[in-house]
């Protein structure tokens, strides 16, 4: 789920109940040994939790679990997949590289699991796990994104911190720019709308009509050119904090401690973060600001991150592998316990609708973040993600930086980006 969050921990809510016995036991003749490789401790918790973990609910299956850091995971899994020797039964797949493996032809078809529950599941996670009409990966979670803003700054510059009113200032990216200028003017130059330009990237990626590669050709959606223009405008007018995402300055802005090159304080109005950003970024890195945040949809719906689970097509224990995926991705009793324990936004609408109205998040001033995220998730399009995205996005990030920093014209930056991407992925 969190390629970008190797430094963070987990903030847990109180566990409420455990899965019902119905539907939580192995189906058919599932038994024997199951080897699981992951890059995240989420699957470790799902496997080993003493109350509702897979080992407890499935005592007939012997689980061997191995965790590898995210930045080393592909280097570990790729060689064994290439040779077919020593491949685990279950593989965790992060958003940045899930499509690489879904499209590889090396994963087990789990369409039957999806078909049995699709009426209860959000569409986009299954869309990401689907290739050529078959499902190869499923996720227990949804990761819609939101715009988190400081209530104190909203009151200071808008006269209110009410999310419904604040959203009117950010209904689209034209309004976003107008409000960025307004914040700068009203604050005498001290308040920026975001600390890092990259915060906006996923909003534009999710607003595209087409993926990067269509029929073997590179497509630069017009919204990505708009992203370049908006980044340039924000940078040149100093309406953004001029720090890098995940940098020391980025985190300092959350705590109200960011300073510019001259040592003057900089107020950061907002951060664009997904579901896990609340628990693993804001709460973890800015605990003293609790109660001074709220969240709104912002100018565009988007998604960021997530973990999928797939099985090796050559597994010798198909029944156990499928049962693990069924349990963690679709079992409603398990998902309810998981959501209550972790605060994770789960993928099952039946569970979401059952629990969403009971939340009140103190960190967000009592706002019901779960119900808000449930609505945001419905607008996400999972069909845009492709296996080539990770590399192409890296090239595009280089083009954006070169243009924004004045090293290249927009036309030159885009031309160089196109040449890089087409050399590797177009046909």
Domain boundaries, the chain: 32-143+304-381, 145-196+240-302
Distance, C-alpha 278 to centroid of its chain: 12
> What is the pLDDT, as a whole number, of residue 26?
41
Mean pLDDT for 190-203 is 97
Strand locations in 297-378 (E): 307-311
Give the DSSP letter string of 55-75: HHH-TTEEEEEEE--HHHHHH
What does the pLDDT average to over 56-67?
Answer: 96
- Give start and end residues of each alpha helix (H) in 92-200: 98-102, 111-117, 123-128, 151-158, 163-167, 173-186
| Predicted TM-score (pTM) of this structure | 0.88
Selected residue with higher pLDDT from 17 and 136: 136
Residue with tokens 């059952």, as numbered in its chain:
354
Provide mean pLDDT across the span 288-292: 98
What class, spelled out in words, does domain 32-143+304-381 have in CATH? alpha beta
Instruction: Read off the pLDDT of residues 78-91 as tens digits, 9 standing for 90 and up.
Output: 999 999 999 999 99
What is residue 35's predicted lDDT score, i.e. its pLDDT? 98
Give 6's pLDDT tier (boundaries 50, 70, 90). Answer: very low
Arithmetic mean of pLDDT, 201-211:
95
The whole-chain average pLDDT of the chain stands at 92
pLDDT band at 426; cut points 50, 70, 90: confident
pLDDT of residue 317: 96
Split at pLDDT 50, 70, 90, the class of 383 is very high
| pLDDT at residue number 427 | 81
What is the pLDDT confidence band of residue 170, given thresholds at 50, 70 and 90? very high
Q: How far is CA 120 from CA 82, 347, 349, in A?
A: 36, 8, 5
Sheet with 145-150, edge to edge strand ranges:
191-194, 267-274, 145-150, 293-296
Q: Which two tokens stand for residue 41?
A: 């401790």
* pLDDT recorded at residue 113: 98
pLDDT above 90 as % of the chain = 91
| pLDDT at position 1 | 41
Compute the average pLDDT of residues 147-168. 98
Q: From 188, 193, 197, select the one nearest 166 (Cα to Cα).
A: 193
Q: Determine how β-strand 90-94 pairs with β-strand 32-38.
A: parallel
What contacts 228, CB < 8 A, 6 or more positions away?
399, 400, 403, 404, 410, 413, 414
Task: Give the 3-state secondary structure of residue 92.
Answer: strand
Q: Once rounded to an integer, what is the mean pLDDT over residues 175-196?
A: 98
Could you give the dihedral angle defined by the CA atoms of residues 313, 112, 209 and 307, in that order, rounded to the nearest 10 degrees? Answer: -60
What is the DSSP-derived secondary structure letter of residue 277? H
pLDDT number for residue 28: 39
Q: Which residues contact 421 (CB under 8 A, 6 or more apart)?
A: 212, 218, 391, 392, 395, 396
User: 250-273 pLDDT, tens per residue?
Assistant: 999 999 999 999 999 999 999 999
303 alpha carbon, distance to own chain's centre: 5
Q: Is the pLDDT of residue 377 over 60?
A: yes
Of 18-27, 35-44, 83-92, 284-293, which range is least confident? 18-27
**pLDDT higher than 70, residue 9:** no
């Amino acid at each position: 789920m969190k390629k970008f969050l190797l430094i963070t921990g987990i903030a847990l809510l109180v566990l409420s109940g455990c899965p019902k016995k119905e539907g939580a036991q192995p189906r058919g003749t599932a038994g024997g040994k199951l080897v699981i490789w992951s890059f995240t401790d989420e699957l470790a918790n799902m496997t080993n939790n003493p109350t509702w973990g897979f080992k407890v609910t499935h005592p007939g299956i012997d689980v061997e679990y191995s965790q590898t850091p995210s930045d080393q995971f592909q280097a570990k899994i790729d060689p064994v997949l290439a040779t077919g020797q020593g491949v685990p039964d279950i593989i965790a797949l992060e958003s940045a590289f899930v499509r690489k493996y879904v499209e590889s032809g090396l994963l087990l078809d789990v369409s039957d699991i999806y078909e049995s529950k699709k009426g209860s599941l959000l569409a986009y996670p299954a869309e990401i796990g689907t290739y050529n009409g078959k499902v190869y990966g499923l996720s227990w979670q949804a990761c819609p994104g939101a715009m988190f803003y400081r209530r104190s700054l909203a009151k200071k510059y808008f006269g209110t911190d009410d999310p419904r009113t604040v959203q009117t200032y950010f209904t689209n990216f034209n309004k976003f720019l107008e409000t960025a200028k307004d914040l700068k003017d009203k604050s005498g130059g001290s308040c920026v709308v975001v600390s890092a330009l990259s915060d906006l990237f996923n909003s534009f990626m999710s607003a595209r009509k087409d993926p990067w590669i269509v029929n073997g050709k590179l497509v630069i959606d017009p919204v990505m050119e708009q992203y370049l223009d908006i980044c340039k405008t924000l940078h040149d007018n100093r309406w953004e904090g001029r720090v890098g995402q995940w940098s020391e300055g980025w985190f300092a802005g959350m705590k109200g401690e960011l300073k510019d090159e001259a040592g003057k304080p900089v107020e950061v109005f907002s951060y664009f973060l997904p579901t896990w950003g609340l628990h693993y970024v804001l709460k973890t890195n800015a605990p003293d600001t609790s109660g001074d945040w709220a969240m709104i949809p912002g100018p565009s719906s988007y998604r960021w991150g997530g973990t999928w689970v797939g099985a090796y097509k050559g597994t010798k224990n198909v029944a156990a592998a499928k049962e693990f995926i069924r349990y963690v991705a679709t079992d409603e009793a398990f998902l309810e316990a998981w959501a209550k324990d972790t605060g994770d936004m789960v993928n099952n609408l039946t569970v979401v609708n059952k629990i969403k109205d009971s939340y009140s998040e103190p960190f967000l001033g009592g706002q019901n973040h779960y119900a808000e995220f449930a609505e945001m998730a419905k607008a996400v399009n999972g069909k845009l993600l492709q296996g080539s995205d990770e590399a192409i996005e890296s090239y595009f990030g280089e083009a954006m930086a070169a243009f924004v920093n004045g090293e290249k014209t927009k036309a030159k930056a885009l031309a160089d980006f196109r040449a890089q991407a087409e050399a590797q992925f177009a046909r």
